[in-house]
Amino acid sequence: MGETDNAARVSFFSDYLWHRDQALHDLAMVEIGRSDYAYSRPIGDRVSTSQILDELNNLNRFVYWPVAIRLLGLQNDPQARSIVRSRFAKALKSGGLHLHEWARAGIEADGVYAINEIGLALKGPRKTLDDRKALVRALSDAGSSQTQFQDEIVKVFADVLDGDPELTLQVAVATRNWGETALHKKFEALVALEETDPATLFFLNIVLQENTISE
């Protein structure tokens, strides 16, 4: 009970998606929604796009929409990709609820292009702090589950650290386990600033000390 970092558990529950017993279907949605994103990626095509869209078009299933968006982003068929691209673009403009999920789905569909679009959105003047945090979370999920994108994401994060210090802690948490040191010079500069808040300062020092030990 309570495990979220078990690929076999996610695979097991994915067999119950859209089971004829609604309680089992709901349980599977909950399990997949709470799991690490990397463990969800292999199950993408175990359900049909039409089933996912039925879920997204049902207001009574609103609580399960984040999971449905995750599953839609993992579909490879042209219909799903077209919908994801459209909703990703709209979400980047409007922000708000489910921005994290649509941003992550956009990266699944378009990779580096979507990452760069998210980078431009993070530079935009009209995004709330919650929206900006949601976009950093999406980039973090992508970098952790698709390591081929880490270099591009680090470039976006470098721009974020230069222009948006409120997101420093989120960026440090996102990249801590990537074995990536390209941002550490920026972290060191932020540690030296008096205006860096105590919680961020504490975590940055942990990250920098871990790097020193590993070297």
Structure confidence at residue 46 (pLDDT) = 78
What mean pLDDT value characterizes the chain?
A: 91
Weakest-pLDDT range from 48-57, 72-81, 192-201: 192-201
Weakest-pLDDT range from 127-131, 193-197, 198-202: 193-197
Which two structure tokens, joined as six digits, stand for 65? 């929409």
- Residue pLDDT, tens place only, 85-127: 999 999 999 999 999 999 999 999 999 999 999 999 998 877 8
**Does the structure show a pLDDT above 60 at 214?**
no
Structure confidence at residue 7 (pLDDT) = 87
The burial class, CB within 10 Å (0-12 / 13-18 / 19+), for 43 is buried
DSSP labels, 189-209: HHHT-TTS-HHHHHHHHHHHH
Instruction: Give residue 212's pLDDT band: very low, low, confident or very high (50, 70, 90).
Output: low
Q: What is the reported pTM? A: 0.91
Mean pLDDT of 38-42: 91
Structure confidence at residue 4 (pLDDT) = 64
**Do 15 and 46 form a contact (C-beta atoms < 8 A)?**
yes
- Residue pLDDT, tens place only, 165-195: 899 999 999 998 888 788 999 999 999 988 8
**Does the structure show a pLDDT above 70 at 23?**
yes
Structure confidence at residue 182 (pLDDT) = 87
Structure confidence at residue 2 (pLDDT) = 60
Structure confidence at residue 200 (pLDDT) = 92
Region at 21 (left for phi over 0; alpha for psi -120 to 50; beta for the rest): beta
Q: Which residue has the tokens 């949605």?
A: 29
- Residue pLDDT, tens place only, 71-87: 999 999 999 999 999 99
The Cα–Cα gap between 165 and 53 comes to: 38
Structure confidence at residue 165 (pLDDT) = 87
